[in-house]
Structure 1
């Protein structure tokens, strides 16, 4: 069976999910024909992705959120204006996606939260069934609990974006920290986190350093300020500042690394605690390694991630990289014992969801033909 991937190229999570999904499907006889990645001018595809994906990679121009001057949070008004000006370019990208779906003869298209995929299905109606996968679809689930303090306007825009990425989808596979009943009305099915196989082969230990990841490098100032107060605590943080050298050593106990996925996992497996901007993927990895977590959300999506993770025993939430709180929390941290079993069931659950889709889709197509005749 032929499968086409379309991946949002921002951040680390969607890229690692695509790698994990390709390996999962390949083990079971599926053929991933190619991987289409939406890119922005401010980001580039990290080496871990281009090295690990086996299918041919093709890139296209895609909408993205631009950071504020401090490079910590997204600048929503400026991002909207910027993307409106690029609408003709995005229209060309949709035509490209439609053409690749047709020429690849894909039996299924799997979308990793790329906006233009949903818009392509809305305007052009490709024949291949669409499956959308991402943690964000869980926020649309009727049984999902959101923090009481959430900004309703921002939440509306986030959920609107999620719905737009999945226009025309036959299923929304919502990556979740726990099992939930399906929301069949909205075609939402909760599935375990889609983690790369490499995570299962890491030797877990506990050294005295704090491991970290920031999707926006502006948070480095917070880390550096805390480091000046507590220089004896070793810190190893990863960021997206590609103009820097692979490892920028500030001193003997503070280093910043360009994103390298295998090094990232090894550092996480050996750390005392983990601090991040609350991306779903790395939270799941830290939970699997049983590491206490400090989450510093950079936008509304990460606020929802952090709240959900906190409800499932992952860690604590703060507005800044207050690492002293993380060290205090680590002293009493009790890992979620059920989480590892949930993660290990991902392969069978996700395969069942995909395999249940294709016969249904073909039956629908045959019914339409018969009705026409």
Structure 2
């Protein structure tokens, strides 16, 4: 009987030791998973963000001169599905949407296909004479700057107004570009639309810059966001065909915060300040501001998949407070049991090399 009791006690001790060891092992592997997920997610973000502004060059000053951009879609999916004027077009290489106490959203924009290694500058020409209204053609100095199916960004000589058009026919002999509102001209409103909606009619010497359209919008863009419900880092990418919408990048990502690194002047590259997207003037930065964005700063929070059960009657203690960062990371919108998981916080600064090297 004594031997049986001793044997039972030994079994209980061994079982308890095994249970504790397994719990520690799960905590360790869970933390390692959070570390790996964060590293991979940050690599994907960094790779895409470094190439922001691809295809824009300092020799083409059309994009930075656009403060008001007029664009139209006839409802076709190839231009985004909207039937009518398109709003919210901004030529900034990167845009950050402030999420408040929720994760931020990062939009990375390109002016040539980011999947093609040789991003050639847009073909550029000028108007020979004033646009006729109503009319669906442009008289240009050289029609060879554009190809059928290109988008054309027409900009006033003094800057300010710009209009996006779809080239439906190139007439090289006559030096004309047609932008007809037909089945192939999904970005082109009827000529009467210009008059009815007081869209600008461009004078001679206005710049015409042609570029390839993305799938589902005029500009190539990759949008990173965090789905708080599923704790996933997602990416929408219209450089793919068909365009990817909220494709999974990494699991167990719970937060992302971002800031702009801006220089004191457009002509300098040194970061003089870090600004939040919610700061005055930075919700939708204009050309004078976005040309000063030389880098972005990111903070990413990942979570282990292992739930660590607290002792009976006790509160979760796997994590009692998140590591501090410049980012305003708040647990207010996290699940109530967020403290039962372990986290890793990642921070990095991503220079926008095309902006810096190209002196955009």
Which has the larger Rg?
Answer: 2
Larger relative strand fraction: 2
Bigger relative CO (Cα 8 Å, ≥ 6 apart): 2
TM-score by length of 1: 0.25
